[in-house]
Structure 1
Amino acid sequence: MRASLIQLGVDPAEPVDARRARAAALVREQRGSDLVVLPELWTVGAFAYESFAPGAEPLDGPTATAMAQAARDAGVWLHAGSIVERTAPADAPAADGSPLYNTSLVFSPSGERAAAYRKIHRFGFDKGEAVLMDAGTEPVTVRLPEITAGLATCYDLRFPELFRALVDEGAQLFVVPAGWPARRREHWTLLARARALENQSYVLACGTAGTHAGVEQAGHSIVVDPWGEVLAEAGAGEEVLTVDLDPDRVAAIREDFPALKDRVLRS
């Protein structure tokens, strides 16, 4: 199974329509991969809070439309990163007070939406995303042809109970789009490895390059195997990271070192 992580650069000077077109072109260039991943909130910038409401879209909005077409053109499963989801009708005012969500979208190679995940853990400590967006409530998995993927987003990476719940739903691989700040890059790599190791699952963590509202992004997208070993890691700039994964390795490691069978505390 071949996975490609597109560590997209987010430049506030680039019009969002141009970035959508550029992201779609990058997805199309990954023909031959099985799974392609984009970062969190790449249309608006994860820290550009003032852009959340005006940049919000419905689940069938312009980003979803462009990404569905790109997935179909490339013939890939596409985790399109996340958007600011707007739940109000399309003709409602942008600032009408209706809930906003940080929502990840997954498309099949035919361009059908296969999953949507509303981020459960919102970052900000009573400001920013934590007050501007509502929280999701349900873990989400999606069955790919060779493996079951569990969906998480950025700050979720700090909450291991979510990943345990995804394992209980059959996840063998976690896809984690993010807009992670450079000043906490060591946390990013450490947590990605921890979530892989403790759950004996692959982790595909895809970050952004550039600067969002003055916050430098970590980049360093990373792929970790079920033994906790780093298979590939990007640098800080815009980059496409492509890695071949062995879906059978998850079952082999879980059988050879069956730590998950010894769990005692469960929800």
Structure 2
Amino acid sequence: MRASLIQIAVEPDESVNARRERVASLVGSQRGADLVVLPELWPVGAFAYTAFEDEAEPFEGPTHQVMAKAAAEAGVWLHAGSFVERASDGALYNTSLVFSPEGERVASYRKIHLFGFDKGEAVMMGAGEELVTVALPQTTLGLATCYDLRFPELFRGLVDAGADTLVVAAGWPERRRAHWTLLAQARAVENQAYVLAVGTAGTHADVPQAGHSIVVDPWGEVLAEAGGDEEILTVEFDPARTAATRDQFPALKDRRLGLAAPR
């Protein structure tokens, strides 16, 4: 299976509309890939909180429309990263979209763990409440977004729901890049699953981005890693290795659930 992770540079001097069209062209350049993955909040920037209200879109707004067309024209499964969704009740969400090679939307995921503690998306956005998996012909994807990567129980839930490839769309800051790599490998090892984690490049609201998108196999080996600038990271991997790894080293079968709380 061939996957292309597009590590988009988000810079303040490029308009959202211009970036949308540029990213659609980048998706189009990946014809022949099975899966293309974009990062978190690439239309506006994950740390550009002051732009969230102005750039929020309805669910089937411009980003949905442009990405659906891009998936169909390239003939790829497209995880279109995430955008700022304005729901019908006015609430904002950090929402990811997945499209089929025919341009049909097959899934959406609202980010569950919101970053910022007492500011930013943590106070501006609503949290998602549902785990989301997507069945492709070759593998089942489990969807996560950025800060979700720090919460292993989410990924266990995705594995229990049948995921064998875990996809993380992120806007991860450079100052915590070591955590990004460490956590991506940890999620792969503990769940015996592939992890495809794509971040952004550039600077969002004066916050330098880590880049370094990464693909990790079920043993925790790094198959490919990007640098710090805009880049398309393409990797061939065999989804069947997930089942083989779990058979060879059946650690997941030894999980003990429902233990009593300490007295």
| TM-score, normalisation: structure 2 | 0.97
1:74-153 alignment runs, 5 A limit: 74-88=74-88, 98-153=90-145
CA distance in 2 between partners of 1:112 and 1:18 (Å)? 23
What is aligned with 2:14?
14
What is aligned with 1:94?
none
Structure 1: which 5+ residue stretches go unaligned? 90-97
Cα offset, 1:59, TM superposition? 1.6
Secondary structure of the structure 2 residue equivalent to 1:54: helix
Cα offset, 1:265, TM superposition? 2.1
| Aligned counterpart for 1:214 among listed residues 180, 203, 206 | 206
1:171-186 alignment runs, 5 A limit: 171-186=163-178
Paired-residue identity, %: 73
CA distance in 2 between partners of 1:161 and 1:24 (Å)? 34
Q: How many residues align?
A: 259
CA distance in 2 between partners of 1:186 and 1:134 (Å)? 28
CA distance in 1 between partners of 2:58 and 2:82 (Å)? 12
Secondary structure of the structure 2 residue equivalent to 1:53: helix
1:16-55 alignment runs, 5 A limit: 16-55=16-55
- Please say if 1:249 is aligned against 2:241: yes
Q: Letter of the 1:117 partner, please give it.
A: Y
Structure 1 segments, 4+ long, off by >6 Å, are none
Q: Letter of the 2:29 partner, please give it.
A: E
Q: Letter of the 2:25 partner, please give it.
A: A
CA distance in 1 between partners of 2:141 and 2:258 (Å)? 21
Structure 2: which 5+ residue stretches go unaligned? none
| TM-score, normalisation: structure 1 | 0.96
1:24-58: CA deviation from partner (whole Å, max 9, x where unpaired): 00000000100000000001100000111111111
Q: Letter of the 1:127 partner, please give it.
A: K
1:153-168 alignment runs, 5 A limit: 153-168=145-160
CA distance in 2 between partners of 1:150 and 1:133 (Å)? 22
Q: Letter of the 1:43 partner, please give it.
A: P
CA RMSD of aligned residues (A): 1.0
